[in-house]
Structure 1
Amino acid sequence: MSTEEPARLERERDARGRAQNARPRDALGRPLPRGAVGVERVPEDLVLAPDPALAEAQRLLDAGMPFHAHEVLEASWKAAPEDERELWQGLAQLAVGLTHLLRGNPRGATTLLQRARRRVALYADAPPYGIDVAGLVAWCDEVLGSLPEPKSEVRVPVLRQPAER
């Protein structure tokens, strides 16, 4: 082992010493080799109000970037009031479940979409922010019913009822 090798293996760290991963990523969030050109990352300190978060997550889903949509939704989940946390966690799981499906991991997709469906469905009686809870539950059922091998291209989930988008 050369004297340079340990430095090469060290992870990037932020000012607080937390590990960072500065490697570029592809549209599905997979790390690319250092120096490769990846897609723009979601800032780790992102904080958006619910309406802009849903709009940005939908934009990323529509662009074929569900991993990045997951990061937006995960930031909202972490910042959400207690009575909305299950919803935002479910939305984040829905996006990462789609990520697993598009990466060719139907088992991971199944697990995450089942969790997402269960969490999102809790808000069926009073969906906040125009979120299309019924539509998202139906989307999860449709995708889960097609696994392990979807019979056709999976359509992008729609987070909000059309008038709210």
Structure 2
Amino acid sequence: MSDTSSADANGIDGLRDRDSAGRARNARPRDGLGRPLPYGADGVARQPEGVVRAPQDTVVEAQALLDAGKPFHAHEVFEDAWKSGPDEERALWRGLAQLAVGLTHAARGNATGGARLLRRGAGGVEEWAALTGRERPYGMELAGIAVWARALGDDVERDSGRVDARARAPRLRGTP
């Protein structure tokens, strides 16, 4: 049986969904925190993958998604920048993607994973800033973002509970 059969598009027979080039793509709908929903359910529109954006546009789009309580989707925007941006910025975007995934895990109730990824992302953006001497790339306040991430990681670990992703979203460029 081929990976491109019509049954595969619906996830039947346990095969992965594939795009026209044969790459694995999960066509299942997802909720606002990126959790898969049953086929046919109404989900949140997915972020398109592989979009090349200007760095300023990445920050604006990711912030809008964070403000909407969709950190999983913000992670996908950061991941696009990580994969398509210049080599010298990959660690920055990877760290920001880890922060968004950490918030996603915390909002889903995974305290251990959330705290771990929030701290890893904080360390990543701090390390990148120290290596490059850039504390405010594209207007982002990396020191403030790292403080936010560590504080949220501590809260999540201490309370072992689910957080409201919208209420606890970071301000990438400081206070509004």
Q: Give the aligned CA root-mean-square deviation in angstroms.
A: 1.9
| Equivalent residue, structure 1, for 2:168 | 155
Partner of 1:29: 34
The CA deviation at 1:139 is 0.1
The reply on whether 1:104 has 2:109 as its aligned counterpart is yes
Aligned to 1:55: 60
How far the C-alpha of 1:159 sits from its partner, in A, is 1.0
Post-superposition shift, 1:90?
A: 0.4
Contact between 1:110 and 1:147, CA under 8 Å: does it hold in 2? yes
TM-score, with structure 1 as normaliser: 0.88
Residue type matched to 2:123 in 1? R
Runs of 4 or more off by more than 3 Å in structure 1? 150-154
Q: Supply the AA of the counterpart residue of 1:159.
A: L
Gaps of 5+ in 2: 1-6
**Aligned-partner Cα distance in 2 for 1:111–1:155:** 17
In 2, Cα distance between equivalents of 1:134 and 1:56? 21
1:136 is aligned with what amino acid? I
Q: Is 2:144 aligned against 1:144? A: no
Greater relative contact order, per chain length (Cα 8 Å cut-off, separation 6+): 2
Superposed counterparts of 1:57-76, under 5 Å: 57-76=62-81
- Is the contact made by 1:25 and 1:32 (CA closer than 8 Å) also made in structure 2? yes
Match of 2:138 among 110, 122, 129: 129
TM-score by length of 2: 0.83
Q: Using the aligned pairs only, state the percent identity.
A: 51
Q: Which runs of 5+ in 1 are unaligned?
A: 1-5
Distance 2:59 2:80 in 1: 11
The whole-number CA distance in structure 2 between the counterparts of 1:115 and 1:31 is: 25
Partner of 1:3: none
